Structure 1
Amino acid sequence: MNDLNLDKHISGQFNADLEGIHTQVQSMGQLVKKQLTDAIRAMHDQDMQLAKKVIKADKKVNEMEMKIDEDCVLIIARRQPIAKDLRLVIAIIKIISELERIGDVAERICSTAFKTLSDQQKSVVLASLESLGKHTIQMLGDVLDAFTTMNLNMAIKIYQEDEKVDQEYEGIVRQLMTYMMEDTRTIPSVITALSCARSIERIGDRCQNICEFIVYYVEGQDIRHKGGNELKKLLSR
């Protein structure tokens, strides 16, 4: 917790409260990362048993979000945090919402099937989606590491990584559209695959959002909707 450079408070319980919610978010983040990793593997291997486990575990992610949110509200009500302490609590409330939505993506992936694609097409599509999934898993893992110590430089680097995720997603879309034009019978499966790819791509956007909340905590700047320009300023300092 010292890595966050929080002010020391007369009340030791206040410090414990802040440390507690920070630790809870780390635990939630690791669970969401495992959910996403398992979902990508279940999709690629067509492992329905693993998919069912991921879907079932989504309830735990939701419960963790609600618990952390409640703890944050209690801290605000009881401790009336100001300055950096308040920014931490606000950032955490927003970050757990992004993590919960990433958990929803994992659940959605596990409901995906490509039954009408040919075996060759299925192999190519699943491999492409797995590659995109692994890219976003790495991005999620990195942003969780950045959150642990609120590392500004790491957050900026991760933010920029989303451009590569977008490029990979666009390549998958072109590939799937080609399949659909070549064989109209694949349209239902291609639409499902496109939806899945879009959901995975959105994980990169959510990781970007978490990076913005890290910047907000460290710098006290809200760079939402102007992230690119503001990040350039931070990098040039």
Structure 2
Amino acid sequence: MLITQKHLSKSFDNELHEVLDLFMQMGHMAAEQILIATRALLAADEATAKKVIADDQLINQLDIKIDEQIILLVTKRQPAANDLRLVMAVSKGIVDFERVGDEAEKIARMACKLIKDGASPRGYSEVQHLSNKVHVMLLDAIDAFSHMNPQQAFSVLQSDAAVNEEYRSATRALMTYIMEDSRHVSRVMNILWVLRALERVGDHAKNIAELVIFCTSGKDVRHTNFMQVEKIVQQTTDAGSNK
């Protein structure tokens, strides 16, 4: 991992790296849960779907563990400047990873419901496509955080716009189908909930990417004009290359 520098205190380095390692572990676990939940839905695999639901507790436990370690780290070491920004980013990022786990659980529950009630006549290809996109997006956000790469983080923000448009397009198509044929409303609605969960995963990936920009630039870009964010990222990249 490339996101920390050496400090005078070896103990601080060790404690910070332990927190960061757990953070990365939690992120990859959440991303994997999305992939597995989607596969369970597409394959009508109830056993796998139920395992995703049960395994959400593992992500919740990591959430609690990392939170406790952050509190201890801040209390004992009182990090300042860049280190404090990084610790704050991790504290916010674990909330997003925990919610990604929750979205995976929702998808798994919808999978169980569709297995019980019968498959939806439409929407599975849209689920597959959107799932692939947000999974890649989330992995890219995690990698951007690992290497503190603002350019890669900005690419994730760009991907979110495409994911949102694809979600809206799929939703419109399925709603039109329901209006034309109301026999399978409840089943198609379950697919719409799955698509909504996947769109939310994209939002959480975007949040992680914004944290990378916060750490590297010192600027909170959550409510910032897209073109302004691009300018901040370019300035940060230029400053880094001139060091």
* Fold agreement, TM-score > 0.5: yes
**Cα displacement (A) at 1:65:** 0.7
Aligned-partner Cα distance in 1 for 2:116–2:172: 19
Aligned-partner Cα distance in 1 for 2:228–2:206: 13
Q: Determine if contact 1:109/1:196 at 8 Å carries over to the other structure.
A: yes
Aligned-partner Cα distance in 2 for 1:62–1:116: 27
**Cα displacement (A) at 1:115:** 6.5
State the identity as a percent. Answer: 36
Q: Determine if contact 1:44/1:126 at 8 Å carries over to the other structure.
A: yes
**Cα displacement (A) at 1:189:** 2.0
Q: What is the aligned partner in structure 1 of residue 100 from structure 2? A: 102
Deviations 1:103-130 (A, max 9, x none): 00000001114479987x63x4112111
Aligned-partner Cα distance in 2 for 1:34–1:232: 30
Matched, 1:137 2:130: no
CA RMSD in angstroms comes to 1.8
Matched ranges for 1:138-217 at <5 A = 138-217=136-215
Letter in 2 for 1:214: V
Deviations 1:143-195 (A, max 9, x none): 11111111111001111111110111112111111221112222222222222
| Structure 1, gaps ≥5 residues long | none
Matched, 1:54 2:52: yes
Deviations 1:23-62 (A, max 9, x none): 1111111111111110010011110011011111100000
Which moved further from structure 2: 18-27 or 185-194? 185-194
Judged with a 3 Å threshold, the aligned counterparts in structure 2 of structure 1 residues 169 and 187 are, in CA distance, closer, same or farther, namely same
Matched ranges for 1:90-129 at <5 A = 90-112=88-110, 113-114=113-114, 122=121, 124-129=122-127
Letter in 2 for 1:4: I
Aligned-partner Cα distance in 1 for 2:231–2:145: 21
Judged with a 3 Å threshold, the aligned counterparts in structure 2 of structure 1 residues 196 and 36 are, in CA distance, closer, same or farther, namely same
Q: Determine if contact 2:154/2:230 at 8 Å carries over to the other structure.
A: no
Aligned-partner Cα distance in 1 for 2:48–2:25: 21
Judged with a 3 Å threshold, the aligned counterparts in structure 2 of structure 1 residues 118 and 56 are, in CA distance, closer, same or farther, namely closer
Judged with a 3 Å threshold, the aligned counterparts in structure 2 of structure 1 residues 14 and 227 are, in CA distance, closer, same or farther, namely farther
Give the ranges of 4+ consecutive aligned residues of structure 1 lying more than 6 Å apart after TM superposition.
115-119
Letter in 1 for 2:195: A
Q: What is the aligned partner in structure 2 of residue 4 from structure 1? A: 3
Deviations 1:86-109 (A, max 9, x none): 001000000110001000000000
Q: Determine if contact 2:44/2:115 at 8 Å carries over to the other structure.
A: no
Aligned-partner Cα distance in 1 for 2:233–2:60: 36
Normalising by the residue count of structure 2, what TM-score does the alignment of the two structures yield?
A: 0.90
**Cα displacement (A) at 1:199:** 1.2
Q: Which residue of 24, 27, 30 corresponds with 1:29?
A: 27
Q: What is the aligned partner in structure 2 of residue 86 from structure 1? A: 84
Aligned-partner Cα distance in 2 for 1:152–1:235: 6
Q: What is the aligned partner in structure 1 of residue 241 from structure 2? A: none
- How many residue pairs were aligned? 233
